[in-house]
Amino acid sequence: MTPVVAVSGASGHIGGRVARLLSEAGLSTRLLGRNPDRIAAVPGGTPVRADFHDAESVGTALAGAHTFFFVSATESEHRATEQVAVVQAARQAGVERIVYLSFVGAAPDAVFTFGRDHWYTEQAIRAAGVEYTILRDNQYQDLIPQYAGEDGVIRGPAGDGAVAAVTRDDVAAAAAAVLTTAGHAGEIHELTGPRAFTLAEAAHMMTTEFGRHYTYVRETMDEAYASRAKYAAAPWEVDGWVTSYAAIAHGDLETVTDSVERLTGRPPLDFRDFLATVRR
């Protein structure tokens, strides 16, 4: 019997991409999501309901799966606790291997507050007694144009720090490579683009590629919280928004690695080249 690979977040950007790549590789997959009807059909894939708020549903969905590609849940106030429960459910369901999509700089005191959730999840995976691989991705190039407001201004407390952002396609390709090959047990792969750039440089590249003027305005931490107060979001959510920029200023996202090329056999896409694909 062919080992089954379970993919969480299968209706999302990364999980959906990975599901397609595994299907192309001829693997049998179980595609997990809160709403199975929203999961795109792929050959060899079986959509299954799994809600990270309900660990029992996760255990049921994972029963009989050999490998679990664990895409972290959408940010929430209790994400760390919920994801630890997901790890426990996977172990109890008999999963033998977990490949977890984490974030660079994951630590209990990470500047980026959401990065702390990843650290606690990583520790639970290490303690679960299963084979594991950790993939820590950088910020997504795909999201950086969305940082700009309607006025074309990127505002945040990133200072002059640089970010080695990576595309979702490159992250998915690296994950699929790990899932379809052996020899990654206990490894941590940091997935980045080919270079680090500042948000001012990002604004300049967006201006050149999109033909519209973009700028970056440095905010202080107080200014960042004040400018986001209009959204009336929960404090934990605003903390995540603001500290995603502060982590850049702190230098947590500037390291460039060759992990994508080593895993996939091709270099990761540069941000300028990514913008060209968006423009087309």
Q: What is the pLDDT of residues 73-128, one digit of tens each?
A: 888 899 999 999 999 999 999 999 999 999 999 999 999 999 999 999 999 999 99
In sequence order, the β-bridge partners of residue 29 are 5, 45
Q: What is the pLDDT of residues 205-262, one digit of tens each?
A: 999 999 999 999 999 999 999 999 999 999 999 999 999 999 999 999 999 999 999 9
182 to 24, 79, 133, 177, 200: CA distances (angstroms): 18, 30, 11, 9, 41
SS3 150: coil
Q: What is the pLDDT of residues 22-38, one digit of tens each?
A: 999 999 999 999 999 99
Q: What is the pLDDT of residues 146-162, one digit of tens each?
A: 999 999 999 999 999 99
Question: Among residues 12, 11, 10, which one has the least CA distance to residue 29?
Answer: 10
Q: What percent of the chain has pLDDT over 70?
A: 99
Residue 74: what pLDDT? Answer: 86
| Domains of the chain and CATH, by start | 4-137+167-192+255-264 (3.40.50.720)
DSSP state of 143: G
DSSP state of 4: E
Residue 233: what pLDDT? Answer: 96
Reported pTM: 0.96
Residue 2: what pLDDT? Answer: 72
SS3 59: helix
Residue 56: what pLDDT? Answer: 93
178 with 133: CB under 8 angstroms? yes
Residue 73: what pLDDT? Answer: 86
Task: Give 176's pLDDT tier (boundaries 50, 70, 90).
Answer: very high
Q: Quickly tell me which residue has 């969480």 as its tokens.
A: 8
Q: Quickly tell me which residue has 């599901």 as its tokens.
A: 19
Q: What percent of the chain has pLDDT over 90?
A: 96
Q: Is the pLDDT of residue 68 over 80?
A: yes
SS3 70: strand
| Helix ranges restricted to H, 93-231 | 113-126, 168-179, 199-210, 221-227
For CA atoms 248, 253, 256, 259, give the dihedral sign: negative
Task: Give 1's pLDDT tier (boundaries 50, 70, 90).
Answer: low
